[in-house]
A and B are shown apart, each in its own frame.
Chain A
């Protein structure tokens, strides 16, 4: 079979991309490895999704459902239980191989939209020493066990990481009858929203230990204890501060990384800062016809922006204009800026740019320039790395469409 577009991944990014591409007249196949659409949202049963887009606090499954219902109104061909194993270029076309109930299948397409989401860092990823016992889970795995499979992974739980996912799991496991002995965070400040510190920890008297981390896991077959150490400003454990905490479950909520196996296979250049593909304002990568959106592009904290990037990618696939790409440089305390390129042959009036500050900053000014012309500025009283910022820039104001720089500096 041949399609105009193959969307890989049926989470919020893939759903939005498939809907938009189909509405623009493209023939679309959506390939998802799991039994149902919705991606990670299926297991994010807490509320707080869709505040920007719908002005409502929806739960993850409810947010996904709005898009799934819309998708069912389109001609998008949905292939579930289908795991994409390889993608290769074959002349002007891309050839996708996936494994499903009918065995190994192939489809051909002009465009690929990568919407494969992200992966969680594991125990190996952050180098925790100790025994190889059962009872150590990533937060997403624990969330899947509780919210999809209905099984609680432990009775006495230690959570490492104070990002929103760790906080939400602390509350969830408490509600399901587990005792959460504490949430430990290596940084001196919590990473999650203040709102979640209150409604997930304080409401349930769950202690939060800052500047502390798990340095060892101990247990013969099942986890029995963890060793906790205080850490210094460089986040190095301080000798002599070790403390043993009894628990049968350790939940690691220590960060997410874009999933880019397929992009790597297609030799799509990645940005070392985002760990996702380098893209232009239409989410097209440096390889023509390959797009990336959602958490596969860069890890988002709000699903509303995930859907937005999916729509951008899906809406752009029908365009056949030749691209003229210019680099967007970054200066100052910026962790990253997406997009990293500007296609000056494509519409430039409403370019959506996402960025994160590299550290906690106050009284900052963001400036976007083209040559020595300023095309956009915005002031920020406060910037925090866990909170992604979004701006819309009109590059049509610029007389010379080159030498683009995004700069963050003290006001």
Chain B
């Protein structure tokens, strides 16, 4: 089966075959393509970037991302969780706003520095 690797902007076209539970991949320019293809067949994961609300002046929302990948099937659960988070003070970039998402060990962290002057 054919697949497009989404790990980096190269977007390699992968040819993936499965035989007796063994997955073989071709068309990938690097090792990450193989890891990606295996994950797509067994447990597809994605990193997610979105935003959460804040009560801080000048920041109606602050941008956040998962600091690793979560199961693709959990993306909309994550969005629901994000809808409930409200940041109430200026946080430095990289602050954790939700820990251990869905038991994956992956955290949700801020990607904008709210302490950066907003003169």
Contacts and interface: CB of A to CB of B under 8 A. Distances in A.
A62 B111 contact: yes
Contacts of B53: 150
A59 B9 contact: no
A251 to B, nearest CB: 18
A21 B65 CA distance: 33
Interface residues of B, number: 32
A48 B9 contact: yes
Interface residues of A, number: 34
Contacts of A65: 93, 112-113, 116
A110 B77 CA distance: 55
Interface string B77-106: 001000000000000010000000000000
B4 A194 contact: yes
B49 A150 contact: no
Most chain A C-beta atoms within 10 Å of own C-beta, residue among B8, B75, B112, B119? B112
Interface stretch (A35-43, A218-226, A315-323, A346-354): A35-43
A149 interface: yes
Nearest to A146: B51
Contacts of A47: 47, 49, 65
Contacts of A59: 49, 63, 65, 111
Contacts of B79: 175-177
A195 B6 contact: yes
B72 A203 contact: yes
B4 A147 contact: no
B71 interface: no
B62 to A, nearest CB: 9
Contacts of A51: 8-9
* Top 9 A-B pairs, shortest CB-CB distance: A150-B61, A45-B63, A195-B11, A194-B11, A150-B60, A61-B112, A59-B111, A195-B6, A199-B6
Interface of B: 4-6, 8-11, 13, 46-51, 53, 58, 60-61, 63, 65, 72, 75-76, 79, 93, 111-113, 116-119
5 contacts: A61-B111, A62-B93, A150-B60, A195-B11, A203-B46
